[in-house]
Amino acid sequence: MRADACTEINRYYVISRHEDVGRLSLNKQNGYPELIEVMRKPLALNKITFLNTYSLALDKSAREGKKTDHFFSLQKEGDYFSDALQDLKKAIAEENIDPESPRSGNYEDLKPVYKKIARKMGIRAASRQQDGFDFITYLAKSSG
């Protein structure tokens, strides 16, 4: 998927069978919407940020055979990145971490530091822990 091809969030829903799978639909400039699967705790998702930040609220559920579709409403919220920067600064201060550490991107040597920050900020990677660490590094570099 090319990130520049998607223009906005279309909808979010979770299909419950034996396991829950979230599906995030993104509108594209041309063609069919892009579909991204959310595998890790999709019913626990409460915010999505893609260009804008949206809070999620369960709108309705529909049962069809052995599956249940849960549809969520999307409500525009404030600026997530500003909030995340504040959360990062707070986590660094509370854990007495050198602010330069997460800017380095040196994950192997600083894995315990990144784990502390991620836990304090409530960041959970969907499939790779590295994704969460990359996000923390991006925020740290953005904070100057």
pLDDT on residue 2:
57
pLDDT on residue 52:
82
pLDDT on residue 90:
92
pLDDT on residue 1:
52
Distances (CA, A) of 54 to 48, 50, 65, 97, 128: 5, 8, 31, 30, 23
Across residues 68-79, what is the average pLDDT? 90
Distances (CA, A) of 24 to 9, 60, 94, 98: 8, 16, 34, 36
| Residue 37: HSE in the Cβ half-sphere, 13 Å Cα cutoff | 7
Answer yes or no: is pLDDT of 60 > 70: yes
Answer yes or no: is pLDDT of 93 > 80: yes
Residues 6+ away with beta carbon under 8 Å from 118: 124, 132, 133, 136
Percent of the chain, pLDDT > 70? 96
Neighbours of 83 (CB within 10 A): 14
